[in-house]
Chain A
Amino acid sequence: MTYVLKPKLHHPTLPKNKIGYTRRDYEGKVSTLCAGCGHDSISAALIQAFWELDIQPHKVAKLSGIGCSSKTPDYFLGNSHGFNTVHGRMPSALTGANLANRDLIYLGVSGDGDSASIGLGQFAHVMRRGVNMTYILENNGVYGLTKGQFSATADQGSKSKRGAVNADAPVDTVSLALLMGATFVARSFSGDKQQLTPLVKAAIAHQGAAFIDVISPCVAFNNHPGSTKSYDYVRDHNEAVNRLDFWPTREAITVDYTEGGVIEVPQHDGSIIKLRKLSASYDPTDRIGAQDQIAQAAVKGEVLTGLLYLAPDAEDLHAHLNTYAVPFNQLGEKDLCPGAGTLEKINASLR
């Protein structure tokens, strides 16, 4: 953990995007998460994605629940409004915010405790409604802030740091999102910035409910042999994260996987994670097929990543509700109040 403040001066040669912003303009406060935390890599990917998309930071609203992952919106897009809501209830607050102003970009950040346990209901229903958002689930299989309890995405048979074995079946959030009607579903890896950044960009561009489950290992509590979400292979420790790393025992591992192949990524601590790069023949517009392949991979102990499903004809909640084009928070009396004359007619009909 670091309390070193970021220098405010920017290097004059920092590249700028089309609207004249450097990547630094998309950063936020200094992270207070553990050094090496996968979540910080996700924040870096988000910064990169928004920068590359030339989006004005203040046109983004960041909402989150409670937990380590939900703290992260403070660590990127410092000129965006953020809202750290209630544990497991980010989806409803985001839905309301989205209804109030359809012109902003909505980013929901959540964790596996937040989305798969306490907030499983809201997770399911926000997908059903097709709220136009990018929902990032930073999935580490463990409760970090309360020090290491299993979460509902922990695999059956995986071991906790203290040696307890998880007997419960896991909630597979991508399968659930597909089932509930999300129109963009992806899974990625916090360390694989090359894969994650383009996915985030695509999700932001998607006009509907976009969901990315990002496996993001917890270096403090779920990074040991026997864990199926242990510290991973790829951690890009360079300037993208822009932060010194004092975690002593871990070094970055990078991996490039070939198309269609399964790769086993040995972890520093001896645990192994299997990854499958999507094959060229994978059809991301086939929802049923995607569900099938995810399930088959899970049986083999593999984790499918990449863009798993994209509905070509996605619609969002505003379309379902046939709402007015001008954001509700900009409408005044003239637009909203029918006036005294109409009220007199209403009175007359009630006599």
Chain B
Amino acid sequence: MKRIEAVNDFVIKFANVNGSGSASANELFAKSFLRMGIPVSPRNIFPSNIQGLPTWYEVRVTEKGHLGRRGGVDLMVAMNPQTWAEDVKEIDPGGYLFYDNTKPLPPSRFRDDIQVIGMPLTEICNATYTDSRERQLFKNILYVGALAGMMGVEPEVIAELIGEQYKGKEKLLKPNLNAFKMGLDYARNHLKDAIGLKAKRAYAVGDKIFIEGNAAAALGCLYGGATVCAWYPITPSSSLAEAFQRSCSKLRVDKDTGKNKFAIIQAEDELASIGIVVGAGWNGARAFTATAGPGISLMSEFIGLAYFAEIPAVIIDVQRGGPSTGMPTRTQQSDVMKCAYASHGDTKHVLLFPEDPYECFEMGAQAFDLAERLQTPVFMMTDLDIGMNQRLCNPLVWDDARRYDRGKLMTEKMLEAGMEFGRYLDVDGDGIPYRTLPGTHPTKGAYFTRGTSKNAHAVYSEAGPDYVYNMQRLLKKFETAKTLVPKAVLTPSKEPARFGCIYYGSTSPAMHEALEALSQNGIFVNALRVRAFPFQDEIFDFVQSHSKVFVVEQNRDAQLKTLLVNDAGINPASLISVLHYDGTPITARFITEEISQIVTALNVRPIKKDKAA
């Protein structure tokens, strides 16, 4: 049997029981690669539970910087008897199984085509510690030490990380260091050259930062000037609101008075969250909510009001597996249609699709400018994969010369100067009317905001022409939005390509790795990353210039494809869906295999004989 040999390019998966303290040990392990200059991309695959259920932590080590999920497992650290069988099954042939061999297992529990490495973790812990919690916790540090020893992770790096983690907590620092050392020594003495996966110092991390998308989005909201946040706890978005709270406590407290330049309300439900956001937006504060699919469903009525009454609001949807309660702790891109057309009646909304924490920050801040400029709800569509996993990304950037775009606000001065004010009057031909804030002027500019139909001067009206005027103007405004939202990003193929590919959001890193693999197999694909809805004409043109375009998504119903057909007028016959929706993040291998198979099938009966793939 040939064992897998690799340097700085492999996948390690930890199978644990949640609540056993494994998370911090696994994170420590992942970070040690970063400190050695090797990019790493960890992913938590966790249950909707606090203690006792299976949880996995998958670490992609990748000097090339492929931060998506690759697919497959080179080394399984099997610490959970509950999931033993499926964990062993998942290992690639020639891969490694590391396990606690304190209690012997029959040969039938193993595989012939993998390398098995046993270490008596329980035995060592029981011999060293008396406290049962310590026995459990240090088992995790012990295996980190052993793995470091076998794989060549520099011990100084891990010691440094442990030092940072327990800074000021000397009582915990020493025993952790000891446990780590014990694991390291055991590996050096008993498991020499047991694993062919090696870490070697590299210089591929650069100035990149390691941050969760939810934390970056929260910072984006803070930098973007959000003062009001209303939310209701829901996985996977809760940590976004909590991060906003933490960041504001540090960065938004007035130094002289100790007063907060922010207000965060944990509301009674999502209806109230969005109500608070809409009320604040109506009154001129930058406000947002963070939620997930079920929250969007509840918010839909208010979203329609905000669309029709033209009130700025920012909604961050950290998507998870639906429908219904679905898979609350798993990732999907399955709220695209729901958000694009949220609410009753004819509605359309601006959507932003960040690919990583860097864009969560950037688009998080930009969403407020868009919402105020367009006077409408703006959705940032992130997901659990980006939101709740630490991801290596470019450092966050802010330009101090940047000014908030408060949109068309009619001031007291403008009213005094005699400017005509019609709340729903299209004065500039871009579909965007002026608005006044409550309290602007004693006698001019007040109006009654309502969800019922009205004329251009905000006077209640059930007259057909008044209604149609408004609805048409809203369409025009949506056209204007095309000029303001982030443009799609093209990754051209090295060779002339007959195929195109459209993808978005968290699919991005796996897509890039797949593109590389495909081109190595002679399949050349031009790739376009869609970053917003409404779609610009460039997206239409991109599809037109390829015979077939793959649309890669993480949902069952090809939701972005539906939007492309429905809203950009694209011929569905030119689009081929590649869909991954089992709740785990899409992998590079999955995309590569799917596209390869389709291309092979298409080439058997080529549509255009003169062109090869």
Q: Which residues of A contact B (CB under 8 A)?
A: 56-59, 61, 63, 73-74, 78-86, 89, 91-101, 103-104, 121-122, 124-125, 129, 318, 321-325, 328-329, 331-333, 335-340, 342-344, 346-347, 350-351
Q: Which of A96, A121, A318, A344 contacts B279 (CB 8 A)?
A: A96
Instruction: For A346, list chain B residues within 8 Å (CB).
Output: 219, 396
Q: Would you give the 0/1 interface string for B261-277, flagging 1 where the beta carbon is closer than 8 Å to chain A?
A: 11111011101111111
Residues A89 and B271 in contact, CB atoms below 8 Å apart: yes
Partner of B228, one of A79, A80, A328: A328
Q: Are B271 and A81 in contact (CB under 8 A)?
A: no
A145: shortest Cβ distance to chain B, in Å? 12
Is there contact, CB below 8 Å, between A100 and B398? no
- Could you tell me if A347 and B209 are in contact, using CB atoms closer than 8 angstroms? yes
Residues in A with CB closer than 8 Å to B443 are 58, 79
- CA A79 – CA B228 in complex, angstroms? 26
Determine if A328 and B442 form an interchain contact, defined as CB atoms under 8 angstroms apart: no
B285 A101 Cβ-Cβ under 8 A: yes
Is A57 a contact partner of B283 (Cβ separation < 8 A)?
no
**Chain B, range 197-249, C-beta contacts under 8 Å to A:** 207-211, 219, 222-223, 225, 227-228, 230
> Would A333 and B227 count as touching, CB distance under 8 A?
no
Interface check B440, CB cutoff 8 A: yes
Which chain B positions have C-beta within 8 A of A332? 225, 404
Interface residues of A, dominant DSSP: helix
Return A280 CB to nearest CB of chain B, in Å: 39
User: Which B residues are in CB contact (< 8 Å) with A59?
Assistant: 439
- Nearest CB of chain B from residue A40's CB, rounded to whole Å: 17
23 chain-A/chain-B pairs, Cβ below 8 angstroms? A57-B446, A58-B438, A81-B439, A82-B449, A89-B272, A89-B302, A94-B279, A97-B282, A97-B283, A99-B276, A100-B227, A100-B280, A100-B282, A101-B283, A104-B283, A122-B271, A122-B275, A324-B254, A328-B263, A333-B402, A333-B403, A336-B252, A338-B252
- In the complex, the chain A residue whose C-beta lies closest to that of B34 is A351
Partner of B448, one of A73, A86, A328: A73
B387 to chain A, nearest CB (A): 16
Minimum Cβ distance to chain B for residue A34 (Å) = 17
Q: A340, B398: Cβ atoms under 8 Å?
A: yes
User: Once bound together, how far apart are the Cα atoms of A121 and B271, in whole Å?
Assistant: 10
Contact between B268 and A85, CB atoms less than 8 A apart: no
Determine if A324 and B460 form an interchain contact, defined as CB atoms under 8 angstroms apart: no
Q: Is the CB of B438 within 8 A of A104?
A: yes
Residue B119 lies at the interface, judged by CB distance under 8 Å to chain A: no
Among residues 266 to 317 in chain B, which have CB atoms less than 8 Å away from a CB atom of chain A?
Answer: 267-269, 271-285, 287, 301-302, 305
Q: Is B429 an interface residue (CB 8 A)?
A: no
Are B276's CB and A81's CB within 8 A? no
Q: Is the CB of A84 within 8 A of B450?
A: yes
**B225 engages A333 (CB within 8 Å):** yes
Q: Are B275 and A89 in contact (CB under 8 A)?
A: yes
Task: Please state if B440 and A58 are interface contacts (CB–CB under 8 Å).
Answer: yes
CB neighbors of A among B441-478 (8 A): 441-443, 446-452, 460
Contact in complex: B261, A335 (CB < 8 Å)? yes
| Contact between chains at B279 and A100 (CB < 8 Å) | yes
Give every chain A residue within 8 A of B449 (Cβ-Cβ).
Answer: 81-84
